[in-house]
Each structure stands twice: as C-alpha cells, then as structure tokens.
Amino acid sequence: MSKKEIRKELKVSAIENGTVIDHIPSHNVFQVIRILNLTDYPNQLLIGTNLESQKMGKKGIIKVSNKFFEPQEINKIALVAPTATLIVIHDFNVTEKKQVKIPNQVEKIVKCFNPNCITNNEEMETRFTVIDKRELKLRCRYCEKITAKDDMVFF
Amino acid sequence: MKNKSLISINDFTPEEHIRILDLAEDFERQPTQRILEEYVVATLFFEPSTRTRLSFESAASRLGAQLIGFSEPASTSLQKGESLRDTIRTISNYSDIIIMRHPREGSARFASEVSSVPIINAGDGANQHPTQTLLDLYSIRKTQGKLDNLEIAFVGDLKYGRTVHSLVMAFCNYTTTFHLVSPEALKLPSSVKIHIKDKKLTYHQYTELQEVVPKVDIIYMTRIQRERFSDPLDYEKVKNSYVLRKSMLEQAKPNLRILHPLPRVNEIAIDVDSNPMAYYFTQAMNGVFVRQALLASILGVVE
C-alpha cells in the first residue's frame, strides 16, 4: 500500500460491523442521511464530505455501525445517489461490496408529485415504473403522471 | 376479457378493442337483449356526470341488469369520511361489476386492486376515460369503414383534453396521420407525442383550423376552456379561431365526419348540425352499444 493510500484510509476511521456507503456525490450526503432516517441513529455514525476521489473528484462517505440495509432502503439510496457503493463489514472485514442500482419498480418510498393523485388522498402505498434511469423519471401506476428527479419527495 | 377491469385504454390489446367494436355492432342491430338479468351493475359517480352515467345505465338496462349506485357523493358515506378502499370493498360485495367516476386521478386503478369484482373506469380526474375512446373508435370505424390509413384532425385543447390523449394513443396502433390544431399554449404534450414518434407515424401541427379541413377524414373537435388561460386576454384572442362553421366545410372531402365528445359550447356553430358531416349526436348514441359490449364481455356472457 502506498503512503498516499494509507493517508486516505485514515481520514475516516474503520467500523467493526455495519455498512459503508461510499462514492456518494458530496452534495447528496445529507440527503442520503435524511432518507435513510439516520438523523437520530443511536449508534456510531461517521460522515465525510468533499473527500478526494479518483473516480469522482470529490465524494461523500457514510459509515453506519451495526446497520445492514434492506433492499428497499438500498433502492432509496440509488434514487438520490446513483453512483454510491455499498460495503458490508463484519469484524472489520469487507464481506460484500456492490454498486447500488436504480430499480425498475419503485414502491412505497417516493411521493407522487401530482396533488390530485389518489395516492396523495388515500391511505395507500405508491408504486412507480422507472421509465428513464438516466434522467430519473418515474411513472405513477395510479395517475400515470411522471414524477421527475427534481419533483421527487421521499416518505 | 372476462373479469378484466378496464381502467386505461392500453389495458386492452388492439385485438380486444376490435372485438368490442364488433360486439357493439351486434348490439346496435339488436339493442334489447336480456342477457344480464342475473347481474347487478353498480354505478358509483363520486363526481356528477349525467351523460356518461345515463349512457351506462341505458346500456345495462337494455341488457336487463339490475342497477344500484349513486350519482353524486353528497348522498354517500364519503361525506362521513369513508375511504375509497372501504366504499369499493363494500360495494363489490353487493354487485357483479362496478362502473365508477371519481375526481382523483388513479382512483379507478386503486379501486381495481381492492375490489373483488371488475371495475370500468368512467373517468378518473384528468387521467383516463377509456369507454369514450372505444366509442370514438367505433364511430370512426363506422363512418370510414376502417381504422387504418386515416387522416385525423384533433382541434382545440390538446394539452388538457384526456379524450384526445387516449384517442391519439389508440390510433398509434394504426397507420394514422395526425393533424394537431391548437393555440400555442394548448399543444399536445410531448408525453403523448412520444407515442406517435415511437410508432414512426406522422403528425403536423397547426394554429389555423381552416387549412386542415380539406385534408382530413375526421375532425375531432374539443372545447377550449377559459380557465386554462392565466391571462383572460389570451383566451379572448383564440376563442373564435377554433370555431367550426358550415361555410368552412365547402372544401371538405365528402367522407369527412365531425366528432365531439360533448358537451359542446360554441366550438361547433349550430348551422353545422344539419350538415350530413355532423356526427357528434350519433357518436353519443354509439356509446350505449359500446358499453353494452363491454358489460357483456367483462361479465362473460359473450365470448
């Protein structure tokens, strides 16, 4: 390991068990924390922003002790931070490493932007088909209107 | 199509559309057939719409079905705050099929998920009104003898008119040339145009009605609503440029027919009514046959 790489590793300390969310666009770090409901997280939570990254220039990183995310939560991350990598740690060892993926279907986590949609007026879950992964456009199964990235609100 | 809900025009395949039109022809030849005497049809109008409701009730009555329902939400437990989920669950125990109109977009799709019987969407907010689309298809096939290779003009409010969006989508299944006539502010949205482009079909856009009249087989008129314009002056500027008058029909092809989903306000002058090209009142009557065909095939009494 070169000296430079060691220095990079030391910027944020390691966790024993839990999940590291790496390669988050720096400006989205706090959004990721919010949609994952980590603001009141009772265990160790390490947050880094504007860290140097060969891939991205600058990146953000979140290390969450004793937390292993459900697929649904991972999908949430993909919608706001499509570049993110998920690293699962057990006993200081990486046991799993994967790139988050924008799913074909998005359920429960996003609000439909149309105020007259039944999902905003009845106690029920939302369901969308992702019709454009690059621009991130979701078509509501119910009102059939398209919620775009900039209109996206998370539950 | 047995037990299948009809929420969006694309829920049925083009082949199923044609099957409905063929069945509707049978009902037009013989409208009174008491084939649904064993069935209870519920019409739930959470938003009043006299024309659509009566058309469905006429269709169900001619087939001998029993009708239950309401024509406005004031008389229902909705006033007491009952959820749509509970209303639909309850009424699906009382009936064999539910026809519903509701002011919220997506309400009919949601109802189809919680109902134990099929749902026919009779309009969900600004979203879908598929039985209108089927009766438009029926009227066009009947007057032109075909659905393929037609030149169709859509006139008026192409931005908000849900009947226009659904009919354009239905005609994307055929070789169609679209002539889109509207004020700049009310052009067909790109989310609908994308369907035309996907099928590599041709469309032309106009702001003048007169120039398309000689080119087309069908003129589909719609109403331009004052409330669509933020500046009342903009409305005043365009409101008379999209009025069809008898004198404009002199250059028309002899097979041209004029359609309108009704109600009309002033966008078709009264003097057009007596012209043989005016078809909008017959079009409304065709709705009964198409709805008979839908009830009979969804309830499974015809194949």
**A12 & A79 share domain:** yes
pLDDT of the residue at A93:
92
pLDDT of the residue at B78:
67
Q: Is the pLDDT of residue B126 over 90?
A: no
- Chain B CB contacts of A116 below 8 Å: 103-105, 125-126
Domain boundary among B103, B128, B153: B128
Q: Which residues of A have a CB under 8 Å from any CB of B?
A: 112, 114, 116-119, 121-124, 140-146
pLDDT of the residue at B76:
66
Q: How far is CA B242 from CA A12, B176, B209, B212, B263, in A?
A: 67, 23, 6, 12, 16
Q: Is the pLDDT of residue B75 over 70?
A: no
Q: Is the pLDDT of residue A57 over 50?
A: yes
- For the four alpha carbons of A66, A70, A75 and A80, in that order, the dihedral sign comes to negative
- Tell whether B223 is covered by a domain: yes
**B142 & B91 share domain:** no
- Beta-sheet strand order (sheet of B40-45): B66-70, B40-45, B97-102, B119-124
> CATH code at A42?
3.30.70.140
Nearest to B84 among A117, A122, A143 (CB): A122
- The arithmetic mean of pLDDT across residues B157-172, rounded, is 93
Query: B233 or B251, which is more confident?
Result: B251
- The arithmetic mean of pLDDT across residues A121-147, rounded, is 94
Q: Do B104 and A141 touch (CB under 8 A)?
A: no
Classify residue A126 by its DSSP letter.
Answer: -
Q: Is the pLDDT of residue A2 over 90?
A: no
**A74 & A22 share domain:** yes
Q: Do B84 and A119 touch (CB under 8 A)?
A: no
Nearest to B105 among A114, A124, A146 (CB): A114
- The arithmetic mean of pLDDT across residues B97-101, rounded, is 97
B49 contact partners, CB below 8 Å, separation of at least 6: B101, B122, B123
Residues of B annotated as catalytic are: 51-52, 80, 101, 129
Query: Of the segments A7-11, A100-104, B50-54, B218-222, which one has the largest average pLDDT value?
Result: B218-222
pLDDT of the residue at A54:
86
Residue type, B209: L
Max CA distance (Å), chain A: 58
Give how far B104 is from chain A: nearest CA, Å.
5
Rounded distance, CA B108 to CA B163, Å? 16
- Tell whether B245 is covered by a domain: yes
- Chain A CB contacts of B109 below 8 Å: 118, 141-142
**B159 & B37 share domain:** no
User: For tokens 């409208």, what's the residue?
Assistant: B31
Rounded distance, CA A23 to CA A31, Å? 14
To the nearest whole number, what is the mean pLDDT of chain B? 94
**A92 & A116 share domain:** no
**B124 & B162 share domain:** no
Quote the domain boundaries for residue B117.
Answer: 32-128
- The arithmetic mean of pLDDT across residues B85-107, rounded, is 96
Ramachandran bin of A140, using left for φ above 0, alpha for ψ from -120 to 50, beta for the remaining angles: beta
Write out pLDDT tens, residues A86-128: 999 999 999 999 889 898 999 888 999 999 999 999 999 999 9
> CATH code at A136?
2.30.30.20
pLDDT band, residue A1 (cuts 50/70/90): very low
Q: Do A143 and B106 touch (CB under 8 A)?
A: yes
Query: A77 or B151, which is more confident?
Result: B151
pLDDT of the residue at B11:
94
**ipTM (interface pTM):** 0.89
**A73 & A122 share domain:** no
Q: Is the pLDDT of residue A7 over 60?
A: no
- Tell whether B294 is covered by a domain: no
Q: What are phi and psi of B31, to 5 degrees?
A: -70, -30
Domain boundary among B104, B128, B152: B128
Domain boundary among B98, B128, B158: B128
**A62 & A12 share domain:** yes
Nearest to A117 among B84, B106, B191 (CB): B106
- Tell whether B175 is covered by a domain: yes
> CATH code at B170?
3.40.50.1370
* Whether B85 contacts chain A with CB within 8 A: yes
Quote the domain boundaries for residue A95.
Answer: 3-99
pLDDT of the residue at A34:
87
Q: Which residues of chain B from 186 to 205 reach within 8 Å of chain A, CB to CB?
A: 191
Q: Taking the CB of residue B294, how many other CB atoms lie within 10 A of it?
A: 26
H-helix or E-strand spanning residue B98: strand B97-102
Q: Is the pLDDT of residue A56 over 80?
A: yes
Q: What is the DSSP string of B103-167?
A: SSBTHHHHHHHH-SS-EEEEEETTS--HHHHHHHHHHHHHHHS-SSSEEEEEES-TTT-HHHHHH
Q: Do B103 and A123 touch (CB under 8 A)?
A: no
Structural domain tally of chain A?
Answer: 2
Q: Is the pLDDT of residue B218 over 60?
A: yes
Q: Collapsing DSSP states into helix, strand and coil, what is residue A92? A: coil
Query: Smallest Cα–Cα separation from B170: which of B156, B152, B143?
Result: B152
B6 contact partners, CB below 8 Å, separation of at least 6: B12, B118, B119, B120, B121, B130, B131, B294, B298
Rounded distance, CA A87 to CA A24, Å? 12
To the nearest whole number, what is the mean pLDDT of chain A? 88
- The arithmetic mean of pLDDT across residues B191-214, rounded, is 94
